[in-house]
Amino acid sequence: MPVGTAATVKGFTQSALEDLGAEIILANTYHLYLRPGHDLIRRLGGLHQFMSWTRAILTDSGGFQVFSLSDLRKVTDEGVRFRSHLDGSEHLLTPEKAAEIQLALGSDIAMVLDECIETPAPRVAAESALLRTTAWAKRARKYFLDCAAKNGDPTQWQFGIVQGATFADLRRRSAQQLIEIDFPGYAVGGLAVGEPHEMTCEMTGVATEELPKEKLRYLMGVGRPEQIADYVSLGIDMMDCVLPTRAARHACMYTSEGRVLIKNARYAEDQRPIDPACSCAICKRYTRAYLRHLFTAGEITAAILATHHNVHFYLDIMRQIREAIEFGNLAKFSSAMRARYAAGPA
């Protein structure tokens, strides 16, 4: 899922995203709650109508941004009290409020509020966050079902989020407790936040072993191009990541041959496309030399072209993975990607 934080995938028009074949995007509840506000979006017909996007939208709970962006956050059993990073105003995000906001936004998939903790976390902190996450998930589910009973089926799916930091038994317990609540889909949260990739995979595998195969399983906030196939191998169906869009704006291009840091002087007269093996509209038309020039000159067109290519590259990874699964080649595809993206920066 490309990330469209504030109801736009930065640098994309909606029709360009459609042309690329994006079927679902992620929008951030924290940002939309603060600006322009979920009530405004509800009055204007919901997020789909507001941003003119008829395909699927997943919203997060806002929790992750509260924990990472806002000031003065204070977590109690009730919820998280925080100050807006925009104007310092004080807000209280509870499991019910997070569900209410997302119902107002009218996203297709909504996430429950979970407690995010810093890693590495001591076991006692991880266990306490997990218990609170379960308690919050119950309240969020109850609020959601009460609303559905009152207002009719909202056509929204609400997902629970497995926590448990880097402790396999806690991950298992978290998954089991969420399954008991019964969600139409499950996410795995609190991973890819600094721990080694092997640990991310181990914890993801522990969770997916527990989570029902017939329901969607979503690994939040991943990943690098060479890691995606690993997560799919572990049973993950959905991922979101700012990497393709954010890296693009910083002139880091993903290609079939690895990363191309396009501002490098070596590309000044390079007449090849960003990725000679790529079929996207940017690679068909523009050279590395031109893209380097646009970045060097600080032109916003640079971000448009680069973002288009990188999102195409990510969506194409998923297409290739589906094909590899069909032909039984996933392990081979995965190791080929790893070889290309061996070391170096994300």
Which residues belong to the active site?
A: 60, 240
Does position 84 interact with its own copies (CB under 8 A)? The reply is no
Minimum Å gap between C-beta 111 and its own copies is: 21
Tokens, residue 212: 């029902």
SS3 assignment for 243-281: HHHHHHHCCEEEECCEEEECCCHHHCCCCCCCCCCCCCH
Minimum Å gap between C-beta 251 and its own copies is: 15
**Binding segment toward its own copies, per CB under 8 A, in 119-127, 165-173, 216-224, 297-305:** 297-305
Torsion on CA atoms 106, 109, 115, 119, rounded to nearest 10: -130
**Count of residues interacting with its own copies (CB under 8 A):** 38
Minimum Å gap between C-beta 287 and its own copies is: 7
Does position 286 interact with its own copies (CB under 8 A)? The reply is yes
Binder among 269, 319, 327, 339 for its own copies (CB under 8 A): 269
Does position 267 interact with its own copies (CB under 8 A)? The reply is no
Minimum Å gap between C-beta 300 and its own copies is: 5
Paired residues of 3 in beta bridges? 26
- DSSP-derived 3-state class of residue 220: coil
Q: Which CB, 171 or 308, lies closer to its own copies?
A: 308
Does position 305 interact with its own copies (CB under 8 A)? The reply is yes
Q: Which CB, 278 or 305, lies closer to its own copies?
A: 305
- DSSP-derived 3-state class of residue 75: strand
Does position 43 interact with its own copies (CB under 8 A)? The reply is yes
User: 165-189: buried (b, 16+ CB within 10 Å) or exposed (e) per residue?
Assistant: bbbeebbbbbbebbbeeebebbbbb
- DSSP-derived 3-state class of residue 165: coil
Minimum Å gap between C-beta 249 and its own copies is: 8
State how far the alpha carbon of 298 is from the alpha carbons of 246, 249, 268, 271, 304, in Å. 15, 10, 15, 20, 12
Q: Quick one: which H or E segment has residue 27?
A: strand 24-27
The residue ranges that bind its own copies (CB under 8 A) are: 6-15, 31, 35-36, 40, 43-44, 50-52, 268-269, 271, 281, 285-287, 289-290, 293-294, 296-297, 299-301, 303-305
